[in-house]
Amino acid sequence: MSEEAILEARYLTRKFKTADSRVLTAVDNVNLKIYKGKTLGIVGESGCGKSTLMRMLVQLDTPTEGQIIYRGKDITDSKGKSLRENHRRIQMVFQDPMASFNPRMKVLDIISEPLLNYKLIKKNERKNIAKKYLKMVDLPEEFMDKYPQNMSGGQRQRVGIARALTLEPEVILCDEATCSLDVSVQDHIIKLLVKLQREKDIAMAFICHDVALVQSLAHKLAIMYLGNIVELISGDKINKEAKHPYTKALIGSIFDIGVDQNTQIETIESEAPSPLDLPQGCSFQNRCPHCKEICTIKKPELSKLKGEHYVACHLYG
């Protein structure tokens, strides 16, 4: 039985015009699928286009080109009632929950507000709803009377997850949802997301710049560099089967206190080029130890190696 794709990006591109009329391509011709009950991890350095891609998928930003497909239907240009229904089915957990909370609202109101907006509950049902979803994210019911500023970062992120769950979405998109948290708190949030996904069979995307963290929960990983997907690989195979030089460098840069002291630490030389002034050919060429003449002339396309493993690199073309 084939997997069911709930949300899909088809040839998604997002371009921005600068004040001096130049064009910045934040997301370039991206194709990705998010499957029911599975997690897609999207990994890359800051500025690679991960958040822009996520904002397009949740329809907080409009693609310059391409399509967003939800359950086989093109929802790219949805407006009004259709867009509102899409937002109910596709929810987002933001990097900074404080920025998405009204500081004057108690947790009780934050959690129940989406349901009231969609007229799915009455005001006198708010407390029972808050209790239900606080319990779901392992917070005591007393938290419903707290304000966001009176909680820790991990507690606020749990409230953000609870709020995203209230509308019973089919897809949850997590935008760097753990990057500002302590390592031990990150672990708790990751385990919570894994548990909730199993219980509710939710399709999930999780973007992060930490490949070690995201591979702990992602079934599939998309490696992103300067707006492009350069490798697509199963989460459990990335350490042994990664091919793209950028992916290998990301893995090689992971610090492990148990590592052999004689092991050479991989580094990525040089700085990434400006997205406003990308070179002809492969955008990774100035940082790649395997750069060949063709890399400076022709941009590599994402091509299938075997199974569900794809890579955009002339070394494997």
Rounded distance, CA 110 to CA 308, Å?
A: 40
Order of strands, sheet of 39-43, starting from the edge strand that comes earlier in the sequence: 90-93, 171-175, 203-208, 39-43, 220-225, 228-234, 309-311, 303-306
Task: Find the CATH number of the domain harbouring 203.
Answer: 3.40.50.300
- Here the tokens at position 77 are 């240009």
CA distance 107 to 101: 9
Averaged pLDDT of the chain: 90
- Give the residue with greater pLDDT, 258 vs 201: 201
| pLDDT for residue 255 is more than 70 | no
| Residue found under tokens 């997590």 | 174
How far apart (Å, rounded) are the C-alpha atoms in residues 50 and 47? 8
In terms of average pLDDT, the best of 90-104, 183-197, 281-295 is: 281-295
Confidence check: pLDDT of 132 > 80: yes
- 37 close to 203: Cβ distance less than 8 angstroms: yes
- Residue 38 pLDDT: 95
Q: Where are the beta strands (DSSP E) in the chain?
A: 5-17, 23-35, 39-43, 65-70, 73-74, 90-93, 171-175, 203-208, 220-225, 228-234, 303-306, 309-311
pLDDT value for 292: 93
The share of the chain scoring above pLDDT 90, in percent, equals 73
Number of domains in the chain: 1
CB 42 within 8 A of CB 60: no
pLDDT of residue 1: 45
Q: Taking the CA atoms of the chain, what radius of gyration do you get in angstroms?
A: 21
* pLDDT (0 to 100) of residue 223: 96
When pLDDT is cut at 50, 70 and 90, the band that residue 233 belongs to is: very high
Write the DSSP symbol of residue 248.
H
Predicted confidence band of residue 262 (pLDDT cuts 50, 70, 90): low
Tens digit of each residue's pLDDT (9 = 90 or more) over 41-96: 999 988 899 999 999 999 999 999 999 999 999 999 999 999 999 999 999 998 88
* Parent domain of 147: 5-316
- Predicted pLDDT of residue 71: 95
User: What per-residue confidence (pLDDT) applies to 149?
Assistant: 92
What mean pLDDT is predicted for residues 252-274? 66
Query: Residue range 192-213: average pLDDT?
Result: 90
